[in-house]
Amino acid sequence: MRPGRGGFPTTRNRARTLAAMALALALAVPALVQSGAVGGAASGRAFASAPTRTPPPTPVEGTPSPFPTVLRTPHPSTTPPALDSREAILVDLDTGQILLAKRAHRHRAIASLTKIMTAVVVLERRSPSSRVTVSPNAASQGGSVLGLETGERISVGNLLYALMLQSSNDAAVALAEAVSGTVDRFVALMNVEARAIGLRDTRFYSPNGLDDRGYSTAADIATLTRIAERKPGFADVVATKTRWIPSPSGPRRYVQNRNVLLWLYPGATGVKTGFTTPAGHCLVATASREGHALLAVVLGDPEEPFDEGATLLNFGFDAFVPVTLVGEGQAVGTVSVAGERLDAVSGGTLDGWVRRDLLGSVERTLVPDPAVRPPVAAGQRVGTVIVRVRGRSLGTVPAVAASLLDVRGEPVRPAVGRQPVDDVAEILGLLVRSVFGSFL
């Protein structure tokens, strides 16, 4: 395909390629499925889904990871899938609960996944509407680029689209210089931010990941992405498939998201791809179904990360069930305070994912707080409820007293319908009577 200005396909040639791919796919896929050439027992993989429309061609010639037109994943199972990637993790996007992990704490080069941190630092310090003047240094970057020109004035928002969709290296440098003045100072800021959010196994050496000295882990990348998703505007950017960006001279520039899951995987919402030879193929993928969102990280895939990302997401959605593990106010047992048994209830709600075949194995253990002494007010914390499945902790919630216990260690009627002020008044009354009772 002939590239247009700045290395991007021209609109006319892109349209022709799309039409050709659509026709080829329409003719080839039914025959392949019928003949058993793909999917089925022979390969152990099946199509995750039929695309609603033909995915776009590779946006830049020579990209090491051409866009596939279908996804091949194992059949649904509660058995964890075999993964080709070196490291991987699957977590709940909202809570961080780990559903599957493979060497998730091993250090590895992460290529352009670095740009997730670049976006986080920028979004914390610059408005998307603010404008950047492109330096000669930014305009001279190689690899995947937007084609920035020296002296060009461009918005932070458009640079973020170029950064996250097309993985533009010149956009990364322009943003870094806009925030910190120099790339080196921006990289130092990235590492300060990494430590502040608890990324203990991560080190950055550039804002774009081309250095190959930078490293992280699947677990740290998952943590970083969960934080990024809460930054205003980030989720909208990474869920965007294509965008036109104004040019200071000539036609508008077209950027296209390299995350093919946005076209092929139902419910996909982001996030980022990456590749260098040392890092291999990398992918951070998010998807949502029925109000529940999962996050998959694939590092060091030798061939194609999209099948691997879809496999992880499928495993989460197919093999697990989102359930309420403990509901607020739910009875969780009794604790002993001054020799008296006191009923306890959950002081909060804990939601989580449980594998379908392990739904009957959920265990709730009440661990009393040995420091609790009378008097005890209804609602006062008296311990912790630990929820486990086959010995693996899924989380904790506080256990609180369901009724009053006076200063002498004698239970008082349950405080149904009472207000906190009632408990305080009653405890004060009990204290007064215990001290001055003989004079009253």
Which residues form the catalytic set?
112, 115, 167
The tokens for 335 are: 């604790």
What one-letter code names the amino acid at 414?
P
The number of beta carbons lying within 10 Å of the beta carbon of residue 359 is 12
Longest dimension (CA), the chain: 100
Query: In angstroms, how far is CA 226 from the centroid of its own chain?
Result: 4
Alpha-carbon span 69 to 165, nearest angstrom: 18
Tell me how far apart the alpha carbons of residues 54 and 56 are, in angstroms, rounded to a whole number. 6
| Three-state helix/strand/coil letters over the chain | CCECHHHCECHHHHHHHHHHHHHHHHHHHHHHHHHCCCCHHHHCEEECCCCCCCCCCCCCCCCCCCCCCCCEEECCCCCCCCCCCCEEEEEECCCCCEEEEECCCCCECCHHHHHHHHHHHHHHHCCCCCEEECCHHHHCCCCCCCCCCCCCEEEHHHHHHHHHHHCCHHHHHHHHHHHHCCHHHHHHHHHHHHHHCCCCCCECCCCCCCCCCCEECHHHHHHHHHHHHCCCCHHHHHCCCEEEECCCCCCCEEEECCCCHHHHCCCEEEEEEEEECCCEEEEEEEEEECCEEEEEEEEEECCCHHHHHHHHHHHHHHHEEEEEEECCCCEEEEEEECCEEEEEEECCCEEEEEEHHHHHHEEEEEEECCCCCCCECCCCEEEEEEEEECCEEEEEEEEEECEEECCCCCEEEECCCCCHHHHHHHHHHHHHHHHHHHHC
